[in-house]
Amino acid sequence: MTGPTFIVPGAVLFVADLARAHRFYGALTGWRASHEDAHHVVLRGEGFELVLHQLRGEPVPAADASGRAPTREDSYWKLCLPVAGIALARSAMAAHGGHLRGPDAEWEGRGFRACDGQDPEGNVIQVREAIAPGAGTPG
């Protein structure tokens, strides 16, 4: 049997609006699509692959009074993504239909600063920026 000698770790995120998810996660991470078809987009970063998988027949979540999809807080997984800077991520997320909580919700630990937010469909995600070694609190 032949195949790759290294399998890249990754995650699959099921979405209702594949094109919007592609724009959102591409803008947030800077990752480019390594594969696209009618039902999938594979974004590849350094040592990680994010597979966006379109749910057939799933309605796009309706926006609430704030203009955002309701947050899907009850989930067994939270996707944590590296970003160059949380402030830049906050702008990119807002420009592409997502939301990142304010600076007062940021926290530090284990060599990174983090903040939670949501994608355009309400999936909770966390963005993390690197900080100097030894900075932050254990977490």
Residues in the chain: 139
Instruction: Please tell me whether the overall predicted TM-score, pTM, comes out greater than 0.85 for this model.
Output: no
What are the tens digits of pLDDT across the range 81-105?
999 999 999 999 999 999 999 999 9
Sign for the pseudo-dihedral over CA of 85, 34, 122, 64: positive
- The answer to whether residues 135 and 127 touch, using CB atoms and an 8 Å cutoff, is no
Q: What are phi and psi of 113, to 5 degrees?
A: -110, 140
- DSSP strand pairing (79-82 vs 99-100): unpaired
Q: What are the chain's domains?
A: 10-56+71-130 (3.10.180.10)
SS3 77: coil
Q: From CA 122, how far away is CA 108, in angstroms rounded?
A: 24
